[in-house]
């Protein structure tokens, strides 16, 4: 990956950490989005990454799109350029490993859409999340109207999108928008704790589990069940299945030492 100034990527001990580094608020402009997409692609092709954390650092996750950059857009420009963030979010969501968003400060608009692309979300007790696009005369355009109702239900999603209001961490936890709330100085630490069990886990089974859930949600129940059955059967061709079942029989649950293949 080329030298970056707006996004950094570190892969250590199986954990890929993607950090937005564009002060003061990690505005999601074209340049940052391009670097984000590049980082996600590098994680996808990494043989070392077993889980990923995406963060904006200790102050702000991402306060949304760069409105000043968008101010000069016309319809033609919007058609041409508006898909970049959505594509990056989709690429993040489709990484074949668990992805955790570590949210400090604001996660608004495109920033909240980026957090929604993760599998789990940890946020600081003083965080604010929301979709203020309606207050600018537009709507979320990088997955907010699609991922949000799947996560919190259509009525709650409409409340947030129609009003443009921000929610605090406790309300976000209550409605299922985030999964864990901790003190601001523990957000990244907690995200890493959540990722830790996956770093030496059964990587192929985790990939299959994520695919079964995510693709199953896009299909009817019958199709989802067939998908699940095929993925389940396929895992009997893996070394980790043999290790896991043998360890269970000989030593009990939770003691297998997986090899990720």
Known catalytic residue at 170: no
Continuous segment of H or E residues that includes residue 12: strand 7-12
133 is catalytic: yes
Long-range contacts of 159-162 (CB under 8 A, 24+ apart): 160/130, 160/131, 161/131, 161/133, 161/134, 162/134
Catalytic option among 35, 41, 47, 133:
133
Burial 89-111, CB ≥16 within 10 A → b, else e: bebbbebebbbbbbbbbbbbbbb
Handedness of CA 89, 150, 109, 70 (dihedral sign): positive
Alpha helices in the chain (DSSP H): 30-45, 67-70, 75-81, 83-93, 110-116, 144-152, 154-163, 169-175, 187-199, 203-217, 221-234, 239-251
Report the distance separating Cα 235 and Cα 220, nearest Å.
23
Catalytic option among 113, 171, 211, 250:
113
DSSP state of 158: H
**Can you tell me the distance from the alpha carbon of 139 to that of 135, in angstroms, rounded to the nearest whole number?**
9
Chain centroid, CA 244 distance in Å: 28
C-alpha–C-alpha distance, residues 129 and 146, integer Å: 16
Pairing mode, strands 51-55 and 99-103: parallel
**Which residues does the annotation mark as catalytic?**
113, 133
């Amino acid at each position: 990956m080329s030298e970056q100034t707006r996004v950094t990527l570190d892969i250590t001990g199986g954990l890929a950490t993607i950090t937005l580094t564009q002060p003061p608020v990690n505005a999601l402009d074209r340049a940052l989005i391009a670097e984000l997409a590049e980082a996600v692609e590098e994680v996808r092709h990494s043989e070392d990454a077993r889980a990923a954390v995406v963060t904006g650092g200790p102050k702000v996750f991402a306060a949304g799109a760069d409105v000043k950059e968008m101010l000069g857009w016309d319809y033609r420009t919007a058609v041409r350029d508006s898909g970049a963030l959505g594509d990056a979010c989709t690429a993040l969501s489709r990484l074949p490993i668990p992805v955790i968003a570590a949210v400090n400060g604001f996660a608004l608009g495109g920033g909240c859409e980026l957090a929604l692309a993760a599998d789990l979300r940890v946020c600081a007790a003083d965080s604010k999340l929301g979709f203020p696009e309606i207050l600018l005369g537009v709507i979320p355009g990088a997955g907010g109207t699609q991922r949000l109702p799947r996560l919190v239900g259509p009525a709650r999603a409409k409340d947030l999108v129609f009003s443009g209001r921000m929610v605090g961490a406790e309300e976000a936890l209550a409605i299922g928008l985030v999964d864990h709330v901790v003190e601001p100085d523990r957000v990244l630490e907690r995200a890493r704790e959540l990722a830790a069990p996956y770093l030496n886990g059964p990587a192929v089974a985790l990939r299959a589990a994520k695919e079964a859930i995510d693709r199953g949600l896009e299909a009817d129940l019958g199709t989802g069940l067939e998908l699940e059955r095929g993925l389940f059967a396929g895992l009997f061709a893996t070394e980790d299945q043999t290790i896991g079942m043998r360890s269970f029989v000989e030593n009990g649950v939770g003691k297998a030492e997986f090899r990720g293949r």
